A and B are shown apart, each in its own frame.
Chain A
Amino acid sequence: MSKYVMVIDQRRCIGCMACIVACKAENDVPEEHFRTRVIQEVEGEFPKLRMELRSELCNHCDNPPCVYNCPTGASYKDKENGMVLLKKNRCVGCKACIASCPYDARYIDPRHGYADKCTFCSHRVAKGKEPACVQTCIGRSRIFGDIEDPESEVSLLLREHHHEVLKPAAGTEPNVYYINRILKG
C-alpha cells in the first residue's frame, strides 16, 4: 500500500506556470479550465512587502467531502494509493462534489458533462513516472511521492520542515503539504 502526497516548497516556486500548461497538455484539460493553478499574493505596504506564490490543486483529502456527497459513487478514494479519483462513466454532472469541495478544485468538462479534477496524473504514476506538473517544475518546487516510504523525498522533506495544509479547519485532511510558507493561510 502506498499513499501519494505532494509537497510544495514555496520558496522555490518562481510563478512560471510551466506546471499549469504541462498539466493541461498531459490531461487534455478543456480551454479556460484548470486542474492546478499558481496563486500570487502580496501583503504589506510599499516598500515593506511580502510575496507568496502558492500552487493549488486537489488535495486528495483523507476525509473528502466530494466523495461523501457524490450520489452515484463516481467520486471515490482509491484504497491502494490514497488518490481521490473519479469514474467518469458514473458521473451524472450533478455538481454536488464541486459544491462540497472547499478548495475549488473541480470543474465540469463542458465537452463531456462530467466532473473533472487533478488525478495526481494517476496514469503516469501507474507507469512509475512523476505527475506532469512535477516533471516540468522549473523551480523543483513541487515534489511528489509516497509518504508511506520513510526514505522518499516527500517523507524526508516533511520530517525536516515545518509544514502546513490549506484550510485545516475544513477538516478534510489534505495530502498536499506546504513548506517554507510565507504568508499566513
Chain B
Amino acid sequence: MPISRRDFLKYTSMAAAGTAVSLSDAELFSHLFAISPEPHEDVNYIPTYCEVCFWNCGAVAAVVNGKVKKLEGNPYDPRSRGKLCARGNAGVGELYDEDRLKHPMIRTGERGDGKYREASWDEALNYAAEKMTKIKNEYGPESVAFMMHGGITTHLMNLGKAFGSPNFGFPSYGQCRAARMVAYDLTYGADVGSPERVDMANSRVIVFFGTHLGENMHNSQVQDFTEALGSRAKIIVVDPRFSTAAGKADHWLPIRPGADMALMLAWINIIISEGLYDREYVDKYTAGFDELKESVKEYTPEWASKETDLPADIIVETARELGRYAPSVCVHPGRFTAWHGNDTQRERCIAILGAILGTWGREGGIYLPTKAPLAGAAGMSYPVPSRASIAKGPHAFAQPQLMQAVRRTTITADPYPIKAWVVAGTNILRAVPNPAKSIEAIMKLDLLIAIDIRPLDTAMMADVILPECTYLERHDALKIDRGVSLSVGIRQPVVEPLYKSKAGWWICKELGNRLGVGGYFPYETYEDHIKKECAAMNIDYDELTRVGTKFYPGTDNPYITNENQPVFKTPSGKIELYSSRLAEQGFAPIPKYNRIEQPEKGWFRLLSGRSPVHSFSRTANNQKLFELFEENVLWINAKVAFSMGIRDGQNIILVNQDNIMSEIIKAKVTQRIRNDCVYMVHGFGAKSRLLSRAYGRGADDSRLMTRFIADPISGSTGMRVNFVRIEKA
C-alpha cells in the first residue's frame, strides 16, 4: 500500500520525537521507491549515510540483485530530510566508476611517472608497515605525518596516535574552517559547529559574505535557505561576484574584494550609534561593549563607502535592516573562510555583529547546542608523543592540524624531519595551495602511502596505493549529529566491496597489526565496534541498522529562555566583544581595519569557488556529474573582456605574479563579476591519466596560488591574495 505524504511526516516526527518506529523494513523505506521487481529479483532497502561530501546525509539504497539501483534521502535523517543533492543522487556513479582503484599497487618507476605493479594486500601492507617501522626506528614516530578527510578520519587518527605521531594535516582546517572556529571560540567560547547551527529557516534577514552556499550543496542548510526564500526573508549578499545566492538577494553588495571588514565595522558603528543593537542582551551577555563602541567610531559609512566601493546610503540602509529585524537575523559565519590572511579578525567582526544584534541563542539567529546525554564508549589512551606537533605552526590559536605547516617542515626538516606521509581521502595536490610546493615536499619523503578510492593526482604520486572501497561498501564511525536535536546515524555496507578494494577501518587495523599497535583496534570487524558503542550509548543497534538515524527525545533547547541560559566558555564567561585572549597574545582585541593589497592595472585577483554538482576535485570523474559540469571556466567581467578582445568561450591562459601559467581554460564573459577579479570553480585540471573523463579538463586554481598569507592568529591560509593576468591561448 502506498504511503502518503502525510504518513511520511508522521513517521518523520515519530522518529524525531524518539518514538520507536515499529514498522517492518519493507514498510520503512519501500514507499520511497517505485521498484517493481521481477519474481526472481531480490530487493533490499538499506539505510546508510552519504559521503560524496562531508555533509553525511542519511540515504537509503535500493539494492536489486546485489546492485544499487537507486539512492534516496532518508526521511528520518536531519541532514537529508528525505532529499539528496545532485552528488548524493549520483552516488552510484562513485560506486560503479570503472576508473576506481581496483587493487593494491606498488610503485616501480620514479615518483609521479605512473608506473606501478599490482600487489596483494598482504604484500602492500607489509611493504607499507616495514617502511613506516624503519622510519620510526631511525627518526622517531613523529616523522610520519597523517593527512585525511572524510569517513576514514576516525580510523586513521587512531592509527596515527597509536603509532605515536602528533602530526596530522587536515586541509579542512587551515584551508577552510580554521578562522571561523578560532574566531567563534574567542568570542563565544565555542564554534558554531558543523553543520553550522544557523537557524536560517526562521530568519527574517540573512547576510552572506562571499558565500558559495547554493553553489556548495550543504544539503540541509540549503534546504533551510530555500525555506527562508519561500517565507520572503530579506537576503543580503556581500560578494564581488553575482553568485547563485546573490541572484536570490534583495541586496547584492558587489564589494571590493578584501574590504569586508570595512563594511562590517561600519555596520557595527551604525547599529551602535543609532541604538539599533539589543541593549538588554548586550548588557547581560557581553563584555567589552564600551571599548567596541569607542573603537568603531572612526568607521563611518562615508569612509566605508570608499573602501568597499559600495554606496554609503546602501551601507546605512542595510545596517538599519539588520537592526530592525534583530535578533531574528542570521549573519552566516561562513565555512570556507581562508581568504586574505586576516581571516580570524574578519570572522571576529561577523561574530561581534551577531552578538550586538542578540542573535546567539535566538530564533532566526544561531541556535544553542543540544543537551548531550550520550554516554559513549570509553576513549582510548594513546602514548604521549615525545616531541611536540609541528602542525600548529607559529600561529597562536591554531589547532595542530595545519597542512601547510606539515608541508613546510617536510621541506625544511626543522625542527625535526618528516619522512613519511600517509594520505587518505584528500587530494593534497589540489586541496592545499601551490601544488609545486607539495610535490617538492613529496620528493623529499622516504615514503608516501595513499589510501584512496580514485586514482587522483596525489594518490598517483604514492609509493604504495591502498584502494579503499566507497561509502556504499563499508562501515564507518557512527554519525553523531548535533543539530537542533541530537541524533545518531549509521553507515553500513549496502553491497560487498567491488574489485579488491577494502574498507578504511580494515586497512588501518591491518596496518596497525603490522606496526605492533593492533591493540588499538580491539575488534574483529568494525560492526562489532559499532555494536559496543551502541550498547554504551543505550541505542538498539538492530533498530539503528533498519532506521538509519535515531533521534534522542528531549535533547533540543535551541533558544534562550529564563530556564535555559547560555554558557560562554570564555575567560570572562561572557561573549567577548573585546577579546582578552587576543590582547594577551598581542593581537588587536577588537578588530581594526587594514587595507589589503589590490591588483595593479592589467592584473586580477583570483577567486575560486564551487559547483553544486561537484565535491572539490573528487567527483570530476563521476560520469553522472561530469555530464552536467565537465570542466571549469573563467568568469571575466564583460567590459574588461571587451577591452581585451576576449570572446565568450575563447581559450585563455592565466599567468600569476610568479610567472606560473595555468592550463588552458575557456573564458566566460559575464556581467556577473567585478572588473578587478576573475573566478573559477575549484577542483579541475586533473593530471592523472587514469581518470578517463576528468583528465586534462579545465584549469587548476591551486596551482596559481603560489602566494598565500597565513593568518597569524589561526593559521588559516588566505588564498584570495593571488593576482593573475590573462593571455590568449
Contact = CB atoms under 8 A, between A and B. Distances in A.
B82 A25 contact: no
Interface string A103-134: 00000000000000000010110111110000
A160 interface: no
Contacts of B89: 18, 21-22, 25, 136
* Category for how many chain A residues contact B: 35 or more
Interface string A128-172: 111000011111110000000000000000000000000000000
Given A136-B89, A139-B223, A141-B226, A46 B214 contact: no
Nearest to B625: A21
Interface in B1-23: 2-5
A25 B612 contact: no
B674 A46 contact: yes
Contact of B219 (A42, A135, A138, A141): A138
Contact of B252 (A15, A26, A49, A123): A49
Nearest to B627: A32
- Of B246, B254, B671, chain A has the most CB atoms within 10 Å of the CB of B671
Contacts of B5: 130
Contact of B71 (A15, A25, A50): A25
A53 interface: yes
Contacts of A45: 671
Interface in A6-35: 9, 11-18, 20-22, 24-26, 31-32
Contacts of A140: 223, 226-227, 230
A74 B556 CA distance: 56
Given A17-B86, A18-B84, A12 B70 contact: no
Contacts of B625: 21
Contacts, number: 134
Nearest to A47: B254
A29 B394 CA distance: 54
A139 B214 CA distance: 10
Contacts of A138: 83, 85, 217, 219, 222-223, 226
Interface in B383-441: none
B223 A127 contact: no
Contact of B214 (A11, A14, A136): A14
Nearest to B62: A25
A51 interface: yes
Contact of B83 (A12, A13, A127, A136): A136
A95 to B, nearest CB: 22
A185 interface: no
Given A31-B623, A127-B34, A11 B85 contact: no
Contacts of B254: 46-47
A140 B628 CA distance: 21
B2 A128 contact: yes
Contacts of A31: 623, 627
Contacts of B85: 16, 18, 138
Nearest to B33: A129
Contact of B86 (A11, A18, A121): A18
B612 A17 contact: yes
B229 interface: yes
B624 interface: yes
Interface string B10-45: 000000000000000000000111101000000000
Contacts of B82: 135
Nearest to B232: A11
Given A21-B89, A129-B31, A138-B217, A12 B671 contact: no
B229 A12 contact: yes
Interface in A31-76: 31-32, 42, 44-47, 49-51, 53
B637 A47 contact: no
Interface in B554-580: none
Nearest to A121: B34
Given A42-B671, A51-B242, A138-B217, A12 B230 contact: yes
A139 B226 contact: yes
Contacts of A24: 624
A135 B34 contact: no
B612 A15 contact: yes
B495 to A, nearest CB: 16
A181 B595 CA distance: 41
Contact of A25 (B4, B70, B613): B70
A42 to B, nearest CB: 6
Interface in B39-58: none
A128 B4 contact: yes
Contacts of B671: 42, 44-46, 49
A158 to B, nearest CB: 16
Contact of A46 (B32, B247, B637): B637
Nearest to A140: B226
Contacts of B72: 135-136
Contacts of B623: 31
B226 A17 contact: no
A13 B613 CA distance: 15
B672 A21 contact: no
B612 to A, nearest CB: 4
A26 to B, nearest CB: 6
- Of B32, B217, B247, B637, chain A has the most CB atoms within 10 Å of the CB of B247
Contact of B92 (A14, A20, A25): A25
B244 interface: yes
A15 B214 contact: yes
Interface string B619-662: 00001110110000000011100000000000000000000000
B124 interface: no
A68 to B, nearest CB: 30
B83 A135 contact: yes
A53 B4 CA distance: 29
Interface string B86-121: 111110100000000000000000000000000000
Contacts of A12: 226, 229-230
Contacts of B252: 47, 49
A129 B2 contact: yes
Contacts of B84: 18, 22, 136
Nearest to A136: B83
Contact of B222 (A16, A42, A49, A127): A16
Nearest to B73: A136
Contacts of B219: 138
Contacts of A136: 72-73, 83-84, 89
- Of B3, B244, B254, chain A has the most CB atoms within 10 Å of the CB of B244
B73 A53 contact: no
B444 to A, nearest CB: 42
B679 to A, nearest CB: 13
A53 B247 contact: yes
A123 B34 CA distance: 7
B225 interface: yes
A15 B222 CA distance: 11
Contacts of B226: 12-14, 138-141
Nearest to A145: B5
A16 B225 CA distance: 13
Nearest to B5: A130
B78 to A, nearest CB: 15
A22 B34 CA distance: 13
A161 B225 CA distance: 21
Given A21-B89, A136-B89, 9 more contacts: A17-B612, A42-B242, A42-B671, A46-B638, A46-B671, A49-B672, A129-B32, A135-B32, A138-B222
18 contacts: A12-B226, A14-B214, A14-B248, A15-B214, A17-B628, A18-B84, A21-B625, A25-B89, A25-B624, A42-B242, A46-B254, A47-B242, A47-B252, A49-B671, A121-B34, A127-B34, A138-B83, A139-B226
Interface of A: 9, 11-18, 20-22, 24-26, 31-32, 42, 44-47, 49-51, 53, 121, 123-124, 126-130, 135-141
Q: Top 3 nearest A-B pairs by Cβ distance?
A: A128-B2, A51-B247, A139-B226
